[in-house]
């Protein structure tokens, strides 16, 4: 979020306002923006804690439950009702996640709970972004995420310094000694830019679809991440984990099919 905030500030200073903050906001608009931005920051923290505690594949398998969280939050906050047959298609996703989690070699409660907290906070983020889009006028999804990055930076950076300040410095020194300062800072910059652009595209997608559909799109992304982690990091997936993941993927397909069917009606 620090790299993303700097990126947006540079674009704004160079005159590319539509590609960053767009325009100044007032106090009322800030009130709409700060809620999803706070959930974005907390969800980011929870997800990274989960990544540190368990295999990447398990975290992303648990996070396929995001559409189920979005159904509940959409109803409670936006009053949006999802047709029952569409909700029923989320059952295979839930069952698949439960099976994959129970069979995962690296399972521990810290990683699981943090992944679930990430689901909860990102669900709040999704529905509050929709609320923000409805109430803040002449404001694009790109502008929304630019302000989200800055607000998130002021939440994440102090927490990182308080809880991990010493280890961050030592970790950076070790990495620089291993790969060199130029490579380290360049790769850190790339991670920050790609993270920012990924979330910017996610906000643009959310501007066009419902929070539940957005959650299902994220499931497709997680499928790619899960199998990429096996290929690139050598994460071991047991037979039950693979079966559970496949069931969750099938549930995603069923949701997409049923959602399109009822949308057509």
Q: Cβ(126)–Cβ(206) under 8 Å?
A: yes
Show contacts of 175-178: CB within 8 Å, 24+ apart: none
pLDDT at 188 over 80: yes
Tokens (6 digits) for 30 = 């800030």
Q: Cβ(118)–Cβ(67) under 8 Å?
A: no
199 vs 181: CA distance, rounded Å: 27
Helices (H) and strands (E) counted in the chain, each on its own, are 11, 0
- Among 129, 110, 105, 130, smallest CA distance to 239 is for 105
pTM of the model: 0.77
Q: Give the pLDDT mean for 33-56.
A: 89
Helix (H, G, I), strand (E, B) or coil at 137: coil
Name the pLDDT band for 220 (thresholds 50, 70, 90). low
């Amino acid at each position: 979020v620090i790299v993303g905030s700097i990126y947006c500030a540079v674009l704004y200073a160079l005159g590319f306002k539509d590609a960053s903050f767009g325009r100044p906001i007032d106090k009322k608009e800030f009130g709409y923006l700060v809620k999803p931005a706070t959930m974005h920051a907390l969800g980011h923290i929870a997800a990274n804690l989960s990544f540190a505690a368990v295999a990447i594949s398990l975290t992303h398998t648990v996070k396929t439950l995001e559409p189920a969280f979005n159904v509940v939050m959409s109803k409670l906050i936006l009053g949006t009702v999802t047709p029952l047959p569409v909700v029923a298609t989320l059952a295979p996703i839930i069952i698949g996640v439960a099976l994959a989690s129970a069979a995962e070699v690296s399972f521990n409660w810290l990683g699981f709970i943090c992944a679930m907290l990430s689901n909860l906070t990102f669900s709040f983020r999704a529905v509050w972004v929709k609320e923000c889009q409805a109430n803040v006028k002449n404001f694009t999804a790109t502008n929304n995420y630019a302000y989200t990055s800055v607000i998130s930076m002021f939440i994440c950076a102090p927490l990182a310094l308080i809880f991990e300040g010493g280890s961050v410095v030592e970790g950076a020194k070790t990495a620089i000694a291993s790969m060199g300062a130029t490579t380290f800072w360049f790769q850190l910059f790339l991670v920050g830019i790609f993270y920012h652009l990924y979330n910017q595209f996610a906000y643009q997608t959310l501007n066009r679809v419902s929070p539940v559909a957005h959650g299902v799109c994220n499931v497709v992304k997680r499928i790619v991440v899960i199998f990429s982690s096996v290929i690139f990091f050598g994460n071991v997936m047991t037979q039950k984990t693979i079966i559970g993941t496949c069931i969750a993927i099938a549930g995603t397909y069923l949701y997409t099919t049923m959602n399109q069917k009822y949308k057509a009606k």
